[in-house]
Each structure stands twice: as structure tokens, then as C-alpha cells.
Amino acid sequence: MGQTARLANAADGFEFGAYRAAPDDARRGGLVLIHEIFGATGDIRGLADGFAADGYETLAPSLFDRARPGFEVGYDAVGVAEGRRVSEGAPWDQVASDVQAAVLALAPPVFVVGYCWGGTAAWLAACRCEGVAAVSSFYGRRIPELACETPRCPIILHFGSRDASIPPSVVEGLRFAWPEMPIHLYDAGHGFASDRAADFSPDAARLARLRTLALFALNGGGRGEL
């Protein structure tokens, strides 16, 4: 089990909450885990605990704290509507700055993984944040808003082929713009990596996680394995 923590953004001094989960065994690296539109929920804390068990000191920052401290909502229609409202009110420049603060709070190598809204924020981290070794982005619906920016570290993208919020044309547009970028498509809907989501797909979640861990291991997150 992890613990609550406080992070400070050096740019403006703003403090925001985070969930920190430390590995019990040898440390592979640091990981910033970026939440969905629903906030830093129990599901996110569970994912953080899982990555810590894999050897990553994980920070899951509450990136909506500027507008709604401690924001958490459910996966129902009311939660989706409220989550979209709060997430769309978070300026990307501010989000990038707060993610940078989380990256700097961890010893290198530092990786980033994000889900849903966090998948787009993870793309942003790859493009703007210093000290990021590699990024794994899950179903980032708003990545096209930032597709003019160039990732500065290795990144992989995960999408569901049955995700109504991210049509195939969006995925193909990203493939065209970034032909050498690994973009993985799964037989699943949106939110397939979360066991609390209606579209949870155990097989897709497991494969995407394995690919994520492999990416991290190839970019400094190993323990000397051959």
C-alpha cells in the first residue's frame, strides 16, 4: 500500500496531492502515473500499487487539484460529465508544468504512463517534460489537439478498435503523422485497462501492460536482465 504525498510546482509554488507507492524489492526507476477524467481514484491507486510491485517507485499526482482538490468521481454518466468538465478546464501548459514537478520529485530514470485524459497528458509529457526516459499512453482521446508537438523520448500508444470516442480515422491519422511510432490497436473499447470500466478487457489490459513494461525495461528500467 502506498501513502499520500504533497508535491510543489517550482514554477509558481502551487502544492498538489499525490499517491506514492514504493517498490518492496530493487528499484527499476520512477514512474509518474497520470489519471483519467475521473481523478486520482482508487483504481489509479491500485494501478500505482501494481507498478510498484513491478519495481517502479510510482507517483500518481492529483492534477485537478488546482480547480477541485481531491477530485474523484464515479464511472457513471454523471461522473463522466463532471470529469469532462473539470478536465477540459485544465490548461495544457499548466498540466505540463505540474507533470514536470512530479517527474522532478523522482530519481531517474523516470517514466510516464497515462490513461484516458492522462493518456493525452502523457503525450504532452513526452513532448515537453525534461528527464522523461519513456512514455506509455493509453487511449488519449485528445492527442490530436497536440499532434503538432514532437515527442522527445520513446513513446508507445494504445487504443481500442471499438472505442467510440476515438474513431479509426484518428488512429490512422497518428499512424500517418508518426509512421515509426509503435501504435497498438486492441479488440476493445475505451478504458479497457481498468477493471472498473464497462469496456474492461483483461486480455488487452494484460498485453498493453506487458508492452509498457518492456518499453520501460528497454529504456533504463531494468535490473541487469539479459
Going by pLDDT thresholds of 50, 70 and 90, the confidence category of residue 223 is: low
**What is the rounded distance in angstroms from the CA atom of residue 71 to the CA atom of residue 69?**
5
Mean pLDDT value of segment 6-16: 94
Task: Summarize pLDDT for 41-97 with one digit per residue, the tens.
Answer: 999 999 999 999 999 999 999 999 999 999 999 999 999 999 999 999 999 999 999
Largest CA distance in the chain: 48
Q: Tell me if the pTM is above 0.85.
A: yes
C-alpha to C-alpha distance for 204 and 162, rounded to whole angstroms? 12
Map out the domains of the chain with their CATH numbers: 3-218 (3.40.50.1820)
Beta strands, E only, the chain: 3-8, 15-21, 29-34, 56-61, 110-115, 132-138, 155-160, 183-186
